[in-house]
Amino acid sequence: AGIERSDISKLVVTGYGRMTFPDADEQISEITCHAKGVHFLVPNARTIIDIGGQDAKVIKLDNQGYVSNFVMNEKCAAGTGRFLEVMARVLEIDVSRLGELGEQAENIVPISSTCTVFAESEVISQLAAGKHIPDIVAGIHQSVARRVAGLTGRVGLTPQVVMTGGVAKNIGVVKAMEKELKVPIIVAPRSQLTGALGAALIAFESSAGKGA
């Protein structure tokens, strides 16, 4: 972008790769940054459901937008973007098409396996049995929603609920989450960048506080 490090008064990094930026002024967890970004976008948000490629998180916020509790699933790919990528590969479709295909479902095919490897085998079996792809995709979305709903049960669910992360761009997962949780969900604009927005806000406020 033609920007030198010297042009940046404050650099805050977040996410799994944050430790790879030794020149950063601060390295802040994605949980804190998502809270900051969501509170800026939706001040009345009290619960964040963040589903990214590597993990799924449920973050509770207080009325000031600070993290009051959180839980995450990072030891298993089930319920994450990686799970959807694996399923899309098995179905031989682009992961970006899952949302629209799931909307075409007429009879949802439940995917009962919570393990990605077993779920992959289950999807292959359903294909071999002649099940329609949209019905299978809807079952995949339902599986993700149920997995993440289990996380919300550990910290509680308080409206307004905001969904972030790349998976929030999948309308099928969003609708499955709404059905599972029985609450409306607000999808953050450019949901995959919410953490980056939060990091930028933290950097701005820190710089402003120093009179930079």
Residue 20: is its pLDDT beyond 80? no
H helices, E strands: number in the chain: 7, 7
Contacts of 6 (CB under 8 A, 6+ apart): none
- The pLDDT > 70 percentage for the chain reads 96
Residue 210: is its pLDDT beyond 60? no
The full set of domain ranges for the chain reads 46-189
Mean per-residue pLDDT, 176-197: 96
pLDDT of residue 78: 74
Nearest-angstrom CA–CA distance, 176 and 111: 13
Residue 171: is its pLDDT beyond 70? yes
Residue 53: is its pLDDT beyond 90? no
> Rounded to 5 degrees, what are φ and ψ at 80?
-130, 175
Count CB neighbours of 94 within 10 A. Answer: 10
Length of the chain: 212
Alpha helices in the chain (DSSP H): 30-41, 81-91, 98-102, 116-128, 133-155, 171-181, 194-209
From the number of C-beta atoms within 10 Å of its C-beta (0-12, 13-18, 19+), residue 13 rates as: buried
pLDDT of residue 50: 96
Superfamily name with CATH number, domain 46-189: ATPase, nucleotide binding domain (3.30.420.40)
CB 57 within 8 A of CB 50: yes
CB 197 within 8 A of CB 184: no
CB 138 within 8 A of CB 172: yes
pLDDT bucket at 60, cuts 50 / 70 / 90: very high
> What tens digit of pLDDT does each residue of 70-121 get?
999 866 777 789 999 999 999 999 999 999 999 999 999 999 887 888 999 9
Nearest-angstrom CA–CA distance, 68 and 131: 44
More confident residue, 18 or 44: 44
Nearest-angstrom CA–CA distance, 109 and 96: 20
> Rounded to 5 degrees, what are φ and ψ at 163?
-110, 135
